[in-house]
Structure 1
Amino acid sequence: MKALRRFTVRAHLPDRLAPLERLSTNLRWSWDKPTQDLFQSIDDALWQDTGGDPVAMLGHVGPERLEQLAADPSFVQRVETLDAELEDYLTRPLWYQQRAAEVSDGNAPAVALPHGIAYFSMEFGVAEVLPNYSGGLGILAGDHLKSASDLGLPLIAVGLHYRSGYFRQSLTADGWQHENYPSLDPQGLPLRLLTGADGEAVLIELTLPDDVTLSARIWIAQVGRIPLLLLDSDIPENDHDVRTVTDRLYGGDQEHRIRQEILAGIGGVRAIRAFTELRGLPGPEVFHMNEGHAGFLGVERIRELIEAGLDFDTALAVVRSSTVFTTHTPVPAGIDRFPLDLVERYFGAGPDGHGSRLLPGVPVDRVLSFGAEDDPAKFNMAHMGLRLAQRANGVSLLHGRVSREMFSELWPGFDAAEVPIGSITNGVHGPTWAAPQWLELGRELLGADDLAQLREPHVWERLQKVDPGHLWWIRGQLREALIDDVRRRLRRSWLERGAAEAELGWIATAFDPNALTIGFARRVPTYKRLTLMLRDPDRLARLLLDDERPLQLIVAGKAHPADDGGKALIQQIVRFADRHDVRHRFAFLPDYDMSMARTLYHGCDVWLNNPLRPLEACGTSGMKSALNGGLNLSIRDGWWDEWFDGENGWEIPTAAGLADDGRRDDLEAAALYDLLEQAVVPKFYDRDGHGVPRRWVEMVRHTLQDLGPKVLASRMVEEYAEKYYFPAARSLRQTIEPVSAGAGDFAEPFGAARELAAYRHRVERSWPRISIEDVDSSGLPDTPLLGSELTLTALVRLDGLRATDVAVQALIGRVDAGATLLDPVTVPMTHTGRTDHGADVFTATMSLPITGPVGYTVRVLPHHRLLSGEAELGLVTLA
Structure 2
Amino acid sequence: MKAIRRFTVRTVLPEPLQALGELALNLRWSWHPETRELFRSVDPDVWEATGCDPVRLLGAVSGQRLAALATDRRFLRRLHDAEEDLRDYLAGPRWYQQQRGRELPAAIGYFSPEFGITAALPQYSGGLGILAGDHLKAASDLGVPIIGVGLLYRHGYFRQSLSRDGWQQERYPLLDPNELAVSLLREPDGSPSIVALALPGGRALHAQIWKAQVGRVPLLMLDSDIEENDARARDVTDRLYGGGSEHRLLQEMLLGIGGVRAVRTFCRLTGHAEPEVFHTNEGHAGFLGLERIRELTRPEEDGGAGLDFDAALEAVRAGTLFTTHTPVPAGIDRFERQLVQRHFATGAVGATEGGPSIPVDRVLALGTESWSGGDPALFNMAAMGLRLAQRANGVSELHGQVSRGMFNGLWPGFDAAEVPITSITNGVHAPTWIDPEVVRLAAREIGAERIDDAMMLGESRRWDGIDHIGDSEIWEMRRRMRAQLVSEARARLRASWRQRGTVDAELGWTGDVLDPDVLTIGFARRVPSYKRLTLMLRDQERLRGLLLHPTRPIQIVVAGKAHPADDGGKALIQKLVAFADDHAVRHRIVFLPDYDMDMAAKLYPGCDVWLNNPLRPLEACGTSGMKAALNGALNLSVLDGWWDEWFDGSNGWAIPTADGEVDEDRRDEIESGALYDLIEYQVAPRFYERDATELPRRWIQMVRHTLVTLGPKVLAGRMVREYVERLYAPAAESRRALAAVGETGEPYAGARELAEWKTRIRARWGQVRVEHVEAAGGADAPELGSTLTLRVQVHLDGLDPADVDVQAVSGRVDESDVISELSTVSLKPADRADVDGRWRYEGPLELSRTGPFGYTVRILPSHRLLASEAELGLVTVPAETTGFSDGVLR
TM bracket (short chain)? over 0.9
CA 233–25 in structure 1, closer or farther in 2 if over 3 Å, else same: same
Residue 250 of structure 2 corresponds to 259
- Residue 461 of structure 1: which of 460, 464, 478 is its match? 464
Q: Which letter does structure 2 place at the counterpart of 1:316? A: L
Residue 453 of structure 2 corresponds to 452
Counterpart CA distance in 2 for 1:798 and 1:196 is: 57
Per-residue CA distance 1:661-711 (angstroms, 9 max, x = gap): 101000100110001110011111111222211100000000000000000
1:350 Cα deviation (Å)?
6.2
1:60 and 2:57 matched: no
CA 349–494 in structure 1, closer or farther in 2 if over 3 Å, else same: closer
Structure 2, unaligned runs of 5 or more: 299-303, 879-890
1:8 and 2:8 matched: yes
Residue 106 of structure 1 corresponds to none
Per-residue CA distance 1:333-384 (angstroms, 9 max, x = gap): 0000000000000111469x99899983311111101101021100000000
Per-residue CA distance 1:438-468 (angstroms, 9 max, x = gap): 1122322332336124422012111111100
Residue 196 of structure 1 corresponds to 187
The 5 Å alignment of 1:234-633 reads: 234-307=225-298, 308=304, 309-349=306-346, 360-373=356-369, 374-449=374-449, 451-454=452-455, 455-633=458-636
1:3 Cα deviation (Å)?
2.4
Maintained 8 Å contact 1:653/1:671: yes
> Could you tell me the TM-score, scaled by structure 1's length?
0.97
- Residue 782 of structure 2: which of 784, 791, 806 is its match? 784
1:799 and 2:797 matched: yes
Residue 154 of structure 1 corresponds to 145
Maintained 8 Å contact 1:19/1:83: yes
Per-residue CA distance 1:400-453 (angstroms, 9 max, x = gap): 000000000000110100000000000000000000011122322332336124
Residue 216 of structure 1 corresponds to 207
Moved more, 545-554 or 186-195: 545-554
Maintained 8 Å contact 1:769/1:799: yes
Counterpart CA distance in 2 for 1:449 and 1:788 is: 57
Per-residue CA distance 1:473-500 (angstroms, 9 max, x = gap): 1101100000000000010000110111
1:876 and 2:875 matched: yes
CA 227–354 in structure 1, closer or farther in 2 if over 3 Å, else same: closer
Q: Which letter does structure 2 place at the counterpart of 1:624? A: K
Residue 122 of structure 2 corresponds to 131
Counterpart CA distance in 1 for 2:171 and 2:324 is: 30
Q: Secondary structure at the match of 1:598?
A: helix
1:779 Cα deviation (Å)?
3.3
1:7 Cα deviation (Å)?
2.8
Maintained 8 Å contact 1:7/1:188: no
Q: Which runs of 4+ in 1 moved over 2 A?
A: 1-8, 353-361, 441-450, 778-783, 834-838
Q: Which letter does structure 2 place at the counterpart of 1:177? A: Q
CA 749–11 in structure 1, closer or farther in 2 if over 3 Å, else same: closer
Residue 745 of structure 2 corresponds to 747
CA 852–538 in structure 1, closer or farther in 2 if over 3 Å, else same: same
Maintained 8 Å contact 1:350/1:357: no
Per-residue CA distance 1:61-117 (angstroms, 9 max, x = gap): 121110001111000111000110011111111000011xxx2xxxxxx32300010
Residue 743 of structure 1 corresponds to none
Moved more, 288-297 or 839-848: 839-848
Q: Which letter does structure 2 place at the counterpart of 1:850? A: R
Maintained 8 Å contact 1:347/1:356: no
Per-residue CA distance 1:230-268 (angstroms, 9 max, x = gap): 000000111011000000000000000000000000000
Q: Which letter does structure 1 place at the counterpart of 2:799? A: L
1:853 Cα deviation (Å)?
2.2
Counterpart CA distance in 2 for 1:68 and 1:458 is: 47
Q: Secondary structure at the match of 2:807?
A: strand
CA 763–461 in structure 1, closer or farther in 2 if over 3 Å, else same: same
1:772 and 2:770 matched: yes
Maintained 8 Å contact 2:297/2:356: no
Counterpart CA distance in 2 for 1:68 and 1:747 is: 66
Counterpart CA distance in 2 for 1:560 and 1:369 is: 31
Q: Which letter does structure 2 place at the counterpart of 1:371? A: G
Q: Which letter does structure 2 place at the counterpart of 1:185? A: D
Maintained 8 Å contact 2:104/2:729: yes
Q: Which letter does structure 1 place at the counterpart of 2:334? A: R
Counterpart CA distance in 2 for 1:339 and 1:354 is: 22
Counterpart CA distance in 1 for 2:460 and 2:325 is: 27
1:655 and 2:658 matched: yes
Maintained 8 Å contact 1:300/1:359: no
Q: Secondary structure at the match of 1:826?
A: strand
Q: Which letter does structure 2 place at the counterpart of 1:791? A: T
CA 246–359 in structure 1, closer or farther in 2 if over 3 Å, else same: farther
Maintained 8 Å contact 2:347/2:358: no
Q: Identity of paired residues, percent?
A: 59
Moved more, 762-771 or 331-340: 762-771
Q: Secondary structure at the match of 1:74?
A: helix
Residue 848 of structure 2 corresponds to 849
Per-residue CA distance 1:761-810 (angstroms, 9 max, x = gap): 01111111111111111334333111111011111111111100111100
Residue 158 of structure 2 corresponds to 167
1:42 and 2:42 matched: yes
1:117 and 2:108 matched: yes
